[in-house]
Structure 1
Amino acid sequence: MKLHLNTRTNQNVFTAHGAGYVTVNGQCFEHSIVVMPEQVFSDWQPQGFDALNESHFVYLLVMKPEIVLLGTGAQQRFPHPRLYQQLTAAGIGVESMDTPAACRTYNILMGEDRKVVAAILL
């Protein structure tokens, strides 16, 4: 599915997604990534939803977002709250949704200049 055109050339937006991939500013990723408006991190380690652990969420803590959008793949799934407890204790919201919804929601929030992070599991 193609998403909307990025008119802000200096910020990262999801430009497409499909089975097993997402595209950020035209660059295709086929592994788990973390996307912020100003940077893409391709070293996020989980190899899928069932591999998530606390350290994967602690990785996101240092980015100091307002909200983390967790894209859980083709299906919406919910990690155990103990995994992201450090984020909620720091006042950071965590929303789980399927990956297409996470991509769309990220683009909207980023367009509103919110401090959003999309953690996408592929």
Structure 2
Amino acid sequence: MSEGKRTGIELRRDDSGQGPIVTGFQGSGFRVRDDVFPNGLLLSPVRALAWQDAPSIDALTHESLGDLFDIDPRPEFLLLGTGSGLRQPPRSFVRHIEALGFGVEVMDSRAAARAWGVLRAEERWIVAALLPL
């Protein structure tokens, strides 16, 4: 390939059976197929929901996740996207989620969205909460 010349490669993910997959970013939000979630996103293997009134990372509580964990079978862990940069959630939040029997994996929201796709392709049964970018 000569300098300055690029080949056009289009990547498509076969997400049949994987549930909702983040397919891109738009502004501070996330695209799931044709839907845009500008203010945060809650994901389970069977649904994508707008995260209405998503708190700041410092104000995060288990109550702010709504019924995210109420699926059968129970999810393995919570994938938490902390916005445009990696920030640690309150320790009390993590302790409460762990006391419920779930692990918590924390990363910035772009990385969490990409990790979601990889883990769902592996058919991992997880949930995610992605704060806006």
Runs of 4+ in 1 over 3 A off after TM superposition: 57-61
Cα deviation per residue 1:53-95 (whole Å; 9 max; x = unaligned)? 2312464332431011111111001112211323212331101
Partner AA of 2:61 in structure 1 = N
Question: TM-score under structure 1 normalisation?
Answer: 0.82
- SS of the equivalent of 2:68 reads helix
Give the drift of 1:41.
Answer: 1.9
Equivalent position of 1:81 in the other structure = 91
Question: TM-score under structure 2 normalisation?
Answer: 0.76
Equivalent position of 2:60 in the other structure = 52
The answer to whether structure 1 residue 36 and structure 2 residue 66 are counterparts is: no
Is the 1:32–1:47 Cα contact (8 Å) retained in structure 2?
A: no
Equivalent position of 2:25 in the other structure = 17
Flag the structure with larger Rg. 2
Partner AA of 1:110 in structure 2 = R
Q: How many residues get paired?
A: 119
Please tell me the root mean square deviation across aligned C-alpha atoms, in Å: 2.1
Task: Give aligned-pair identity as a percent.
Answer: 29
Structure 1 pair 58–38 and aligned structure 2 pair: CA distance change class (3 A): closer
What stretches of structure 1 of length at least 5 have no aligned partner? none
2:12 is matched with which residue: 5, 12, 17?
Answer: 5
Equivalent position of 1:116 in the other structure = 126
Give the drift of 1:9.
Answer: 3.4
What stretches of structure 2 of length at least 5 have no aligned partner? 1-10
Is the 1:13–1:25 Cα contact (8 Å) retained in structure 2?
A: yes
2:105 is matched with which residue: 95, 99, 106?
Answer: 95
